[in-house]
Amino acid sequence: MHDGLKIATIGGGSSYTPELVEGFINRADELPVRELWLVDIKEGREKLEVVGALAQRMVARAGNPFKVILTLDREAALKDADFVTTQFRVGQLDARAKDERIPLEHHVIGQETNGPGGLFKGLRTIPVILDIIEDMKRLCPNAWLINFTNPSGMVTEAILRYGNFPRAVGLCNGPIGIQRGIVQTLGVDPSRVFVEFQGLNHMVFARRVFLDGEDVTADVIESMIASNGDAISLKNIADYAWDPEFFRALGMIPISYLRYYFKTSAMLADGERALVEEGTRAQVVKRVEHELFDLYRDENLDVKPPQLAERGGAYYSEAACNLINSIYNDKRDIQTVNTRNNGAIRDLDPDSAVEVNCVITKQGPIPLTTGELPVSIKGLVQQIKSFERTAAKAAVTGDYRTALLAMTINPLVPSDIEAREILDELFEAHKDYLPQFYRDGVPVWKTAPRADAPNESADAGCGE
């Protein structure tokens, strides 16, 4: 690495960018950023210019020496970069609204990273992330890719299986939020607490909590039951309290996304109610973003506004900047990231992406062994991993039947018939962003099969 770091952020026009900028400013003493390149596509030019100007004002206010450069030229941004962060959304929020609305019209949960919506976000995103990786191989082969783009677990799975690029890590702010909630519940200094995480992205569990080396998991669960909550309430997920006896029986602290699987009927009803009363979550976020960008346009604003917390990105900068800082400085601390399993979870394929505690080194994350999954969650975790692997294969091959298989095996989809109905509607809704499935506007599954499809079995379920 040269004198000072060049960091490229793909999707730089995101409303989350001020979080990232603040994180780099706060770590200036040990993370010598020289240039931060914010890159977007032409459809995102206006947002890039607005958020980029705020980023430049934030840096100027802090008296930091690094430059913030705005560009639509991805290759220029990637050239000789040391770190590349990705936070883009193919099709923008309009695509997310379709991911959420169309399943709900079939009485199936519509959510952007779980179920049918997560499948189609992955189908749109994975080819783009793999294109970015090919650019990185040419332009910055020694850079680290830090992916925040959802569905982060599925995207990381695709990178590991099809990208042939080992310097990539998937990231989510969920585990940090859970850990913060646990520390708050215990009312102690964070340095006294260790949380063992085990699972997948958006399906992770705080399996054990230690205070000064003593296992206090049961005490934390009791405190959370008493407060009628869990470790963290995410802005995009209805905050239904866990049944106390179920919570005790589970014996672990689940991320809020587990409500989609353990409280399916209530979450579906909430989504259907919201669709009528306030619109999809994407429509709500659109309104929040409109207010945020009105704030960002204020030339007197030179700090991250507190309203950004309403966007749902709490601890984003902490997760991303801590990871970059630890890789660069070889800190060898423990963080929870999405990386190759390598035996950390015994019940999953060693090459699959998992979300576990890792020692973060200059050579990347080294996952800590967690052993077998508890039998109570083993089947669900393996089923979601089968879904992720099948979905990643569909995204790469452009094969309709593989996409149908992925849709059908997702536990939120009730049958193969409904799976195909939802699949076909979502394909039609998103065809402009799914070139691997279409040729000149004609679905490829109605023409000849592709000859370049990778030969990778989709049979990756229970017992792998």
Largest interatomic CA distance in the chain: 62
Cα 10 to Cα 5: distance, rounded to the nearest angstrom = 16
For residue 319, give the nearest of 301, 302, 338 by alpha carbon.
Answer: 338
List the catalytic residue out of 257, 260, 315, 328. 257
Query: Phi, psi (5° rounding) for residue 439?
Result: -130, 115
Residue 459 neighbours by CB under 8 Å, 6+ apart: none
Surface-to-core class of residue 210, CB atoms within 10 Å of its CB (0-12 exposed, 13-18 middle, 19+ buried)? middle
Residue 242 neighbours by CB under 8 Å, 6+ apart: 225, 230, 250, 254, 262
Cα 255 to Cα 207: distance, rounded to the nearest angstrom = 11
Q: How many residues does the chain have?
A: 464
Sign of the C-alpha dihedral, residues 402, 405, 410, 414? Answer: positive
Cα 246 to Cα 210: distance, rounded to the nearest angstrom = 22
Sign of the C-alpha dihedral, residues 401, 405, 406, 408? Answer: positive
For residue 254, give the nearest of 354, 154, 182 by alpha carbon.
Answer: 182
Find where tokens 């964070």 sit. Answer: 190
Q: What strands, in cross-sheet order, belong to the sheet with 333-340?
A: 67-71, 33-39, 5-10, 83-86, 144-147, 168-170, 333-340, 353-361, 364-367
Please indicate whether residue 257 is annotated as part of the active site. yes
Active site residues: 257
